[in-house]
Amino acid sequence: MTNLTVVELSRLQFALTALYHFLFVPLTLGLSVILAAIETVYVITGKPIYKDMTQFWGKLFGINFALGVATGLTMEFEFGTNWSMYSHFVGDVFGTPLAIEGLMAFFLESTFVGLMIFGWDRLSRPAHLAVTYLVALGSNLSALWILIANGFMQYPVGARFDPDTMRMQFTSLYDLIFSEDAQAKFVHTSIAGFVSAAMFVMGISAYYLLNKRHRAFAARSFRIAALFGLISTLAVITLGDALGRSDYLLQQTKIAAIEGLWHTTKPPYEPWKLVALPDDATQSDVFSIGLPYVLTPLVTHSFTEPIPGIIELEQEARPKIVNGIQAVLALHDYARTRSPEALAAFRKNEDDMGYGLLAQRYAPGQDLAAITKADLPGVVDRTARATIPNVFVEFWSFRIMMALGFAFLAVFAFAAYFSLRNRLERQPWILWLAMLFIPLPVLASEFGWIVAENGRQPWTVFGWLPTFQSASTHSVGYLLFSLIGFALIYTCFIAAELYLMFKYARIGPATGASETPQPAAGPHSADTSGYAEKPWQ
């Protein structure tokens, strides 16, 4: 019998370690690309200021990268240490993208990051540039394979459940890689990383501009970051919309929870809820304020398609649960007898097996065979209710993420505008805003993770394996040991990281090259238009 406390503690530990890992990953993804861009300018123009920029942002990249690597180690092994049933159930298909990530991406990124830091004096300029490109390529390829793996949890394609091995067996590499969910999520997530990095570079540059230090250096970094951030934010919003539509097609319970839809919508009037207080217990809103006519086109990209509501989705799940219970009972029979009749009985309902596994949680003694005729409606009721993720969490995580996204758009737009007009130093408010906004894109990414993974509940593999069955059968003591240990170590880590980040951001770029005008960066050189009249040139 599954100990639900252990499952909840395992979930808590996974969420903490994943959210913590995800504090550092977005910055790595984006900063590697920004570094590659700046170094390209350096190699083309030969101006030392761009070398200073690459080296300075590279140093902050290194401080962040170390934590990304350290916390990533935990992730690679936590499936095995804490989710043994899950690992056994999907390892044949889920482990593969993780292994390919190591072979194709992480080796590339990690081998060349050493040369990127240590190789300045040992490599020619183009060779060092190539190394930086490979780091950026490696880290983003790494995100691709991780999100392909995650895509399988959200929308399991490319594998079939096999009753002989009691697990999902890999059937199509193509389907796995080109899963609609995985592709939509990869571009949305990695470009969200670009936004984080752009805000990071822009905010720290704003700090120098406010303090009138390293001005040429900071003004250039600011402009690159503002433009990069503006384009990236536009892309993230567009791609987020595409991801929402793919959720509407593939994960209806998730989209219903995100939008707080208790009932199937009646287009076209249906309002998009701007603010609401959804109550999961009564399955209704305490109050809500909505914008009429917005919801249907926003989610479905049409004016006529209805979006299924939570109460209707629960009704749809009921027959699946009844069939699923039959499937699991037949599977158990097959495991004992290996008889073709049991296999045939299983095959009849195999697509609903996951719902039967989910029902185990609500069966007497977690044993489906013990369900009596009188119990059945109650078990089906509770299981149906369990197919819906927590609406309050989903609704608000999504709205915070989205509001932050639009706030970034505004900040980047103003920042880019004033930077291009060379009016930054006369607009200290935008500099202040840029500085204060540094942590917010990372926060938005964290909420994005919650939307994606809370919205996947109650499944680890959507529709196939319930979360409560996925965890290792440890004792509570083991979990407390690891959970407290991770909390303590990670707290020390983040303290050390923030201390060093602040220290090096305060020190600023190491050499004096950017303080003194460089001959090559003079008023008439090609790419300094807009800087020509400035006093610091």
Partner 1 sequence: MELYVALKVIWAFLLGVLLTGLAVMVGMDMGVGTMLRFVGRSDLERRAALNAIGPHWDGNQVWFVLGGGAIFAAFPTLYATSFSTFYVVMILLLFSMILRPLAFEYRSKVDASRWRATWDWAFLVSGAVPMFVFGAAFGNVLQGVGFHFTWDGQYFQDESFIWYLLNPFAILCGLMSVALSLYQGGTMLVMRTEQPIAARAERIAVAGGRIAALLFAIGGIWVSLMKGFVFTAPVDPAMAATPLHGPAVARQAGAWLGNFHAHPALWAIPAAGFLGMIAGSLALRAGFAVLGWWLGALAWVGTIFTVGVAMFPFLMPSTTAPAQSLTVWNASGSAYNLTWMLVFALIFTPAIIAYTGWAFRVMRGRVKTDSIAHDEHSY
Q: Which residue has the tokens 């607009």?
A: 427
- 369 or 410: whose CB is closer to partner 1? 369
- 145 or 418: whose CB is closer to partner 1? 145
- 145 or 248: whose CB is closer to partner 1? 145
- 103 or 344: whose CB is closer to partner 1? 103
Q: Which of 350, 343, 344, 354 is closest to 327 using CA atoms?
A: 350
- 2 or 264: whose CB is closer to partner 1? 2
Half-sphere exposure in the Cβ direction for 155 (13 Å, CA): 25
Rg (CA), the chain: 26
Tell me how far, at minimum, the Cβ of 58 lies from partner 1, in Å: 9
Tell me how far, at minimum, the Cβ of 145 lies from partner 1, in Å: 9
Q: Which of 303, 312, 309 is closest to 267 using CA atoms?
A: 303
Over the window 299 to 338, marking each residue x when it contacts partner 1 by CB under 8 A and - when it does not, the resulting string is --------------------------------xx--xx-x
Q: Which of 312, 295, 303 is closest to 259 using CA atoms?
A: 295
460 binds partner 1 (CB under 8 A): no
Over the window 335 to 374, marking each residue x when it contacts partner 1 by CB under 8 A and - when it does not, the resulting string is xx-x------------------------------------
| Whole-number Å distance between alpha carbons of 395 and 406 | 17
Residue 457 structure tokens:
């509940």
**Span from 205-213, 296-304, 439-447, 488-496 in contact with partner 1 (CB under 8 A):** 488-496
Tell me how far, at minimum, the Cβ of 42 lies from partner 1, in Å: 16
| Contact of 354 with 331, CB cutoff 8 Å | no
Q: Which of 262, 275, 269, 276 is closest to 308 using CA atoms?
A: 262
Question: Which one of 5, 44, 169, 316 is in contact with partner 1 (CB under 8 A)?
Answer: 169
- 146 or 239: whose CB is closer to partner 1? 146
| Contact of 272 with 296, CB cutoff 8 Å | no
503 binds partner 1 (CB under 8 A): yes
- 105 or 202: whose CB is closer to partner 1? 105
Tell me 388's DSSP state: S
Residues in the chain: 537
48 binds partner 1 (CB under 8 A): no
Q: Which of 77, 64, 113 is closest to 493 using CA atoms?
A: 64
- 72 or 297: whose CB is closer to partner 1? 72
| Whole-number Å distance between alpha carbons of 468 and 460 | 9
Q: Which of 237, 272, 238 is closest to 258 using CA atoms?
A: 272
Q: How many residues bind partner 1 (CB under 8 A)?
A: 85
**Span from 112-120, 390-398, 432-440, 442-450 in contact with partner 1 (CB under 8 A):** 112-120
506 binds partner 1 (CB under 8 A): no
173 binds partner 1 (CB under 8 A): yes
State whether residue 179 is helix, strand or coil. coil
476 binds partner 1 (CB under 8 A): no
Burial of 99 (0-12, 13-18, 19+ CB in 10 A): exposed
One-letter amino acid at 93 equals: V
Window 116-135: residues binding partner 1 (CB under 8 A): 117-120, 122-123
> 160 forms bridges with which residues in the sheet?
169
Question: Which one of 11, 167, 188, 456 is in contact with partner 1 (CB under 8 A)?
Answer: 167
**Span from 45-53, 241-249, 298-306, 483-491 in contact with partner 1 (CB under 8 A):** 483-491
103 binds partner 1 (CB under 8 A): yes
Question: Which one of 482, 505, 513, 521 is in contact with partner 1 (CB under 8 A)?
Answer: 482
Over the window 54 to 93, marking each residue x when it contacts partner 1 by CB under 8 A and - when it does not, the resulting string is -x------xx-xxx-xxxxxx-xx-xxxxxxxxxxxxxxx
Tell me how far, at minimum, the Cβ of 80 lies from partner 1, in Å: 3
Tell me 517's DSSP state: P
| Contact of 531 with 422, CB cutoff 8 Å | yes
What is the chain's percent helix, strand, coil content, to nearest 5?
A: 75, 5, 20
- 82 or 300: whose CB is closer to partner 1? 82
